[in-house]
Amino acid sequence: MLSDALREWGDLLPKLAALNEPLTRFGEALWACWERRGKMLVAGNGGSAADAIHFAEELVVRFGKNRRALAAIALCDPAVVTCAANDLGYDRVFERQVEALGNPGDVFVAMTTSGNSENLLRAIRLAKQQGLVTVGFLGKDGGKAKGMCDIEFIVPSPVTARVQEAHKLLYHTVCGWVEAKL
């Protein structure tokens, strides 16, 4: 079982090297956002929601060293999500939060292994309309989200676990880049 995962990673790692340029663009977009006192908003469903929370806390608190806090919000507050789902429908849970919290120049990050989550597609569209920089952490072939975001990380694996693991590697790389720049 472990050998299968390691073989899958052996196939995937060389493909991730192609994401260096978008990683640099993402780091620079975050840096420019924070220089203007903006914030990063990040959202996902299920395991990607857990990754969204993890990513935000690495920026707000610390990744590898003590430094100033960076503004990042995971759009996963259970009261807000369940209220929006109940009152507006689950397809609007992230869109509504982007509407409330997103400002031009902020960064919106959508984390979706399938690229097909309607609630994230709607949030990406609204974020673009509101002037946010949009970033997609996507998997497989990118799904419906492919081509929608300003910056995209498509992890070309059919295995959800490998996509989520690669997303973590990518956002940890950005955290390290940002902390080195501070």
Q: pLDDT (tens digit, 9 = 90+) per residue, 110-139?
A: 999 999 999 999 999 999 999 999 999 999
- Write out the residue range of the structural domain in which residue 29 sits: 2-181
**What does the chain come to in residues?**
182
Check if the beta carbon of residue 109 is closer than 8 Å to that of residue 43.
yes
CATH number, position 90: 3.40.50.10490
Phi, psi of 119 (to 5 degrees): -65, -35
Say how many domains are in the chain: 1
Percent of the chain with pLDDT over 90: 88
Q: What are the tens digits of pLDDT across the range 13-53?
A: 888 888 899 999 999 999 999 999 999 999 999 999 999 99
Nearest residue to 145 via CA among 168, 167, 112, 99: 112
Task: For the sheet with 133-139, list strands across it.
Answer: 72-74, 40-44, 107-112, 133-139, 151-155
Check if the beta carbon of residue 153 is closer than 8 Å to that of residue 27.
no
